[in-house]
Homo-oligomer: A and B are copies of this chain.
Amino acid sequence: MERDATMQDVLDYVERHQRQYLADLTDFVRIPSVSALSEHAADVAACAEYVAGRLRAAGLTRADVMPTPGHPVVYGEWLGAPGKPTALVYGHYDVQPVDPIGLWDSPPFEATIRDGLLFGRGASDDKGQVLMHWAALEAHLKVRKALPVNVKVLVEGEEEVGSRNLEEFVAAHRDTLAADVVVVSDTDTFAPGLPSICYGLRGIAYFQIDVVGPTRDLHSGSYGGAVANPVEVLAKILAALKDEHGRIAIPGFYDDVRPITPEEKAEFDRLPFDEEEFRRETGAPALFGEEGYTTLERRWTRPTLDPNGIWGGFTGEGTKTVLPSRASAKVSCRLVPDQDPERISDLFESYVKSLCPPWATLTVTRMDGGKPSVTPLDHPATKAAARALEAGFGKRPVYTRAGGSIPIVATFQEVLGAPTVLMGIALPDDHAHAPNERLDLASFFAGIRSAAHLWEELAKG
């Protein structure tokens, strides 16, 4: 008599199929789905078909290749658990170009295993992590014929070229994609062997500032001293944006910053972070940031302001005695909850304009904007992911944030209204985007186990 299959049976299935997963990953890596290069367009399309086929084989009730104006999206679903939560899993099947090819120790599209690492373009970013999910889904569906929750899977083909059609796709398929939580597996763990949940991302507000003085470049001898210099005006404006304590001087800028909780601070303080190693890695002679915060807090939980570029006047070799007509800078702010990019843009623009003297004219152009996102530590999805990772890795996960933005996370939040759990299992030294990209197989198998646990844990609510 057949007993009901248990979670342990699912895990046993996963254990028995490790060789299969390596074979699958080898097939997956073999398809050179380089989204940036038009000569690989057919490969990208073939890769989408491959993913859809694997999702169907895993037992999803639907798995379609769906067109976009660029490379297609693969969408799959299993919705056989009415009344239970619905999770949307996100990943991407496209990969970075392989140049410089000469620096690869083995062919980039031939998966090669050495020392517990599987080398190949996309092994870590993001094919291994996509496979991790379909393997876990398959284990559940083969062993138990069902999933504990409803699952939707979205695997895009343009992540490496800026996900340029995804926002529109998500908006157009808002109902199809509706979910209670989004699970993104396209990030690193904090350190090797340390399962990590990245629960927060910073937002962004990006500007260009143009300062114009005279209508043409002037001779700095004939006019210098009588006509204000736009480079000088711009420098004084940029200098006034931050005080000597590293604090942004825009009035009201910090009004909506939500302080981190003592629990978050405690989590960060236990992370194995070597400040000197971090400094050495940047090459900067010393670190510098807002007074009163640790380096991790500055990078993850505090808003920042950085000029991204500046230009004006003569920039060639040698000397030219010009008083430039104009000077420009790109400046962006990284935002944290609950800062709103629109409100920050208003504050930025009005402060910058107030700094411009009457002898120059100034324009602020608003460019990219994106909201910060944080899924609280005590959110049920965060806690479910933590339990799943602990079960899969045999080690309590750490909680991290990232200083950057992942635009699709903001899209999911805004369009679907769903919180995101970032459950990546890549390692910081996986050489993503570089020659000899690789996937740590111990992390890979632990990731599949964690993914299998995830649906069980999410069902607990």
Binding site for B on A (CB under 8 A): 202, 204, 206, 213-216, 218-229, 231-232, 234-236, 238-242, 278, 282-290, 295, 298-299, 302-304, 306-315, 318-325, 327-330, 332, 334, 357-361, 367-368, 402-405
Q: Are A403 and B225 touching (Cβ within 8 A)?
A: yes
Whether the pair B282, A223 counts as a contact (CB closer than 8 A) is yes
Given A308-B220, A313-B308, decide whether A302 and B334 contact each other with a Cβ distance below 8 A: no
Q: A222-B404, A229-B307 are in contact. Are A288 and B357 (CB under 8 A)?
A: yes
23 A-B pairs in the complex with CB atoms less than 8 angstroms apart: A206-B321, A216-B283, A220-B306, A220-B308, A221-B402, A224-B304, A224-B403, A225-B303, A225-B334, A227-B289, A228-B289, A229-B306, A229-B307, A231-B307, A231-B309, A232-B307, A283-B325, A285-B359, A286-B359, A288-B357, A308-B319, A310-B327, A321-B332
What is the copy number of this chain in the assembly?
Answer: 2
Assuming the A-B contacts A295-B226, A320-B309, are A358 and B285 also in contact, with contact meaning beta carbons closer than 8 angstroms in the complex?
Answer: yes
The 8 closest A-B pairs by CB, nearest first: A221-B404, A215-B283, A309-B313, A239-B239, A225-B304, A235-B238, A309-B314, A231-B307
A434 to chain B, nearest CB (A): 13
Assembly CA distance A302 to B290 (angstroms): 40
A410 vs chain B, min Cβ distance (A): 13
Bound-state CA distance A235–B355 (Å) is 14
B308 touches A311 (CB 8 A): no
With A283-B215, A290-B225, A334-B221 known to touch, is A310 a contact of B312 (CB < 8 Å)?
Answer: yes
- Do the beta carbons of A284 and B213 come within 8 Å of each other? yes
Given contacts A367-B318, A404-B222, contact A308 B284 (CB under 8 A): no
Q: Which partner residue on chain B sits nearest A202 by CB separation?
A: B221
Partner of A368, one of B306, B319, B322: B319
Distance in angstroms from A242 CB to nearest chain B CB is 7
Contact A310:B311 (CB < 8 A) given known A223-B403, A232-B242, A359-B285: yes
Give the chain B neighbours of A357 by CB distance below 8 A. Answer: 288
Shortest distance in angstroms between A78's beta carbon and chain B's nearest beta carbon?
A: 34
Q: Give A304's nearest chain B residue, CB to CB.
A: B225
Tell me which of B202, B225, B289, B307 contacts A226 (CB under 8 A). B289
- When the two chains form their complex, are residues A329 and B231 in contact, meaning their CB atoms are under 8 A apart? yes
Residues of B within 8 A of A214 (CB): 282-284
Least Cβ distance of A275 to chain B in Å? 9
| A308 with B327, Cβ < 8 A, contacts A287-B227, A287-B359, A332-B220 known | no
Complex-state Cα separation, A332 to B219, whole angstroms:
12
A312: B residues at CB distance < 8 A = 307, 309-311
* Complex Cα spacing A230 to B332, Å: 14
Which residues of chain B have C-beta atoms less than 8 A from A323's C-beta?
A: 306, 308
A403: chain B residues at CB < 8 Å are: 219, 221-225
Q: Are B359 and A231 in contact (CB under 8 A)?
A: no
The smallest beta-carbon distance between A254 and chain B, in angstroms, is: 13
Tell me the complex Cα distance, A37–B360, Å.
Answer: 38
Are B319 and A367 within 8 A (Cβ)? yes
Query: A223-B282, A319-B330 are known contacts; what are 16 more A-B pairs with Cβ within 8 Å?
Result: A221-B402, A223-B403, A225-B290, A231-B310, A231-B329, A232-B238, A234-B310, A235-B239, A238-B239, A239-B240, A307-B324, A309-B314, A311-B312, A315-B328, A320-B330, A321-B404
A312 to B327, CA, bound (A): 12
A285 to B241, CA, bound (A): 24
B324 and A308 contacting across the interface, CB-CB below 8 Å:
yes
Asked if A334 contacts B304 (CB within 8 A), the reply is no
Name A282's closest neighbour in chain B (CB-CB): B214
Query: Is the Cβ of B226 less than 8 Å from the Cβ of A287?
Result: yes
Asked if residues B284 and A359 are in contact (CB atoms below 8 Å), the reply is yes
Q: Which residue of B lies closest to A357 (CB)?
A: B288
A361 touches B285 (CB 8 A): yes
